[in-house]
Amino acid sequence: MSSAPSFTASSSIDSSTDLSFDSLDLLPAVLKAVHDSGYTTPSEIQAQSIPHLLAGKDIIGQAQTGTGKTAAFALPILCNIELSLKRTQVLVLAPTRELAIQVAEAFQTYAKYLPKINIVPVYGGAPYSEQLRGLKKGAHIVVGTPGRVMDHIRKGSLNIKNLHTLVLDEADEMLRMGFIDDVEWVLEQTPDSRQIALFSATMPTVIRRIAQKYLVEPEMIKVASKTMTAATIKQRYWRVYGASKLDALTRILELEDHDAMLVFVNTKNMTLELAEQLQSRGFACEALNGDIPQNGRERIVERLKRGRLDVLIATDVVARGLDVQRISHVVNYDAPRDNESYVHRIGRTGRAGRSGDAILFVSRRETRLLKSIERTTKQAIIEMEIPSIKKINELRIQRYKKTILTTIEKLKNSKNYDIFSNLINELHEEESVDMVDIAAALAHMSNNNKSFLLNESEFKHLKEKRSFNDSFADKGPRKKRERGDRKAKEAPGLRAVPLKDMPEVSMKRFRVEVGYDHGVKPGNIVGAIANEAGLDSKMIGQIEIFDDYSVVDLPDGMPKDVFQDLQKAWVCQQQLKISMFSGAQAKSGKSWNKKGKGRKANNRAHQQRKRKAD
């Protein structure tokens, strides 16, 4: 390891140069996968990083999320892998499990023509069994979060003594989430000969110190984010939860005044599944994916252009370059894999100065992605207001009336008019059935014998649900307890400590079943809760670590589904099993702030063990 390497400025590559992936000396198998993904020209971070990484040099890449940095390190790494060696040659550390999964999927995409390569994602909140099976087979590439990677190294299930390349992805985010001590611990376990690629959007002092301590004569690559969206595109997001996504999309199709709509999903199978579901609900819809022959794709796009098709469900690859003037709305049904993909997706509307609408479905765990997209695009994405049942039903009635009037006009000019009018008159005269009753029956039949108007039970799962961050954001200080209130008499140490910068946020104290005996650190707990709860780390308060459990202060009003997720989350091979903290559970321990700096505390059990050892 080099104690104080110099930072070498990378040679600048003119972004206007007509550079292609073909000129970057990638393996033919990797290059073929790149072309299959629809990419021909590398982004600036890719063009500058790939040659240095192929040559085995350390690099520092300062680039925003969404600039294509995953491919910048994944492509050269795959070219340098020795497939015959069944051992871990590459380790990628990522701050969140979502990013770890995303990076692992990117590796799989670019490695599709490399035989028998084994890429294993490891992250907290998931059982060890599947990860252990993947590691036991001999993982060439491991992508994981710092805490879970540490667990596997300590267990002996992950051996990095022969590591060839280490990637630190979004290093500043790992610092912000309290993982930096874990990152340094992992760095200390790696061989001195390994290559390091450090990527970070910013370069705080701690990240620079790590670079100076562990990287050897790194190439410094700094790329400014240039991905911007058209000002003519109105960007909004809708918080969705699980099965409610389909109903949310249905509501948008009913309520939004749109011409044609392009809906993005992340997999080929999902294009077919969602298209079938929408067709069953009466929408003119088709799937568009890479398995459809080129001539078939062209026919589908032509139908969209001619107005014979209103909704297209597509994956990123096949929609690149799609330019149909009718597309007024783009819906990100599945969140994009990165910010650059988001920009490409919504660029299918609002073209050539026309206005357009872009809607992003966001789950609780994707709040961080939403903020990242806003930083990249430099535009605010506004939360959609979910309309009331009354509003939806009013619109349904108006549109149905309009449809009836339009159909009457069309029917009068067709040969079916006489047939149907005679049939209705005969039924009216022969059976003495009122004309209004006949029309109502026909309307019911046209609605597939279903209820026409929504009711409360159908709508309740689409009502606005707030993320853990949002659930307390608007809460003011709570009313102080009156004298005599039992809970006001709790012993010191049982009450949650107010957040320093946000004293108005009401905090509660929780117990998690992991402590000193399991090797836990504050960063492990912060990272797990931030990941599982979708909670900004600044909202996580004081942490006290005891022998076999820990106590953490969290904002009051935790949603039930978040609480259940945290109960199942894993840290240091232990499930958190979170519960409310009570006086009966109190023990002595050591109190930590989120950055891991210890405060003085009386840990009796620890002192007793120390005296016995002495």
| Percent of the chain whose pLDDT exceeds 90 | 32
Most confident of 226-235, 276-285, 470-479: 276-285
pLDDT in tens, 308-361: 899 999 988 777 667 788 999 999 999 887 777 788 889 888 866 678 999 999
Do residues 321 and 439 both lie within one domain? no
CATH code for position 551:
3.30.70.330
How many independent structural domains does the chain possess?
Answer: 4
- Supply the range of the domain harboring residue 572: 472-613
Q: Average pLDDT over the chain, rounded to whole?
A: 80
Q: Is residue 356 part of a domain?
A: yes
Single-letter residue type at 134: G
Q: β-strands 311-314, 356-362: how paired?
A: unpaired
Do residues 452 and 363 both lie within one domain? no
- Predicted local distance difference test score (pLDDT) of residue 468: 52
Q: Is residue 3 part of a domain?
A: no
pLDDT in tens, 67-88: 788 999 999 999 999 999 999 9
Q: Is residue 48 part of a domain?
A: yes
pLDDT in tens, 166-198: 999 989 888 877 888 899 999 999 999 999 999
pLDDT in tens, 114-142: 988 999 999 887 788 889 999 999 999 99
> Predicted confidence band at 242 (pLDDT cuts at 50, 70, 90)?
low
- Predicted local distance difference test score (pLDDT) of residue 595: 42
Report how far residue 258's alpha carbon sits from residue 386's, in angstroms, rounded to the nearest whole number. Answer: 17
Query: pTM to 2 decimals?
Result: 0.55
Is residue 584 classed as helix, strand or coil in its secondary structure? Answer: helix
Q: Which residues contact 408 (CB under 8 A, 6 or more apart)?
A: none
Handedness of CA 510, 515, 521, 524 (dihedral sign): negative
Do residues 316 and 194 both lie within one domain? no
- Predicted local distance difference test score (pLDDT) of residue 364: 73
Tokens of 341: 């993909």
Single-letter residue type at 276: E
Q: Which residue bears the tokens 């500043």?
A: 172
Q: Is residue 466 part of a domain?
A: no
- Predicted local distance difference test score (pLDDT) of residue 376: 79
CB 346 within 8 A of CB 313: no
Quote the strand ranges of 33-171, DSSP E: 59-62, 90-93, 119-122, 141-144, 165-168
- Predicted local distance difference test score (pLDDT) of residue 263: 96
Q: Is residue 170 part of a domain?
A: yes
Assess whether pLDDT exceeds 60 at residue 480. Answer: no
Average pLDDT over residues 416-422: 85
Looking at per-residue pLDDT, the higher value among 73 and 13 belongs to 73
Q: Which of 360, 383, 406 is the last residue of a domain?
A: 383
Q: Is residue 553 part of a domain?
A: yes
Do residues 376 and 394 both lie within one domain? no
- Predicted local distance difference test score (pLDDT) of residue 189: 95
Looking at per-residue pLDDT, the higher value among 376 and 204 belongs to 204
Average pLDDT over residues 20-41: 90
- Predicted local distance difference test score (pLDDT) of residue 586: 55
Do residues 266 and 366 both lie within one domain? yes
Do residues 438 and 476 both lie within one domain? no
Report how far residue 601's alpha carbon sits from residue 542's, in angstroms, rounded to the nearest whole number. Answer: 13
CB 381 within 8 A of CB 235: yes
Q: Is residue 162 part of a domain?
A: yes
Lowest mean pLDDT among 208-217, 243-252, 443-452: 443-452
Looking at per-residue pLDDT, the higher value among 153 and 2 belongs to 153
Do residues 503 and 546 both lie within one domain? yes
Assess whether pLDDT exceeds 90 at residue 473. Answer: no
Assess whether pLDDT exceeds 80 at residue 453. Answer: no
Q: Which of 383, 412, 432 is the last residue of a domain?
A: 383
Do residues 215 and 301 both lie within one domain? no
pLDDT in tens, 510-526: 999 999 888 888 888 88
- Predicted local distance difference test score (pLDDT) of residue 490: 39
Q: β-strands 550-555, 507-512: how paired?
A: antiparallel
Do residues 375 and 398 both lie within one domain? no
Q: Is residue 467 part of a domain?
A: no
Q: Which of 192, 222, 252 is the last residue of a domain?
A: 222
Q: Which residues contact 198 (CB under 8 A, 6 or more apart)?
A: 58, 59, 60, 61, 167, 168, 171, 207, 210, 211, 215, 218
Distance of alpha carbon 11 from its chain centroid, rounded?
A: 34
Do residues 408 and 476 both lie within one domain? no
CATH code for position 251:
3.40.50.300
Most confident of 90-104, 362-376, 555-569: 90-104
Do residues 317 and 334 both lie within one domain? yes
Report how far residue 8's alpha carbon sits from residue 10's, in angstroms, rounded to the nearest whole number. Answer: 6
Do residues 564 and 517 both lie within one domain? yes
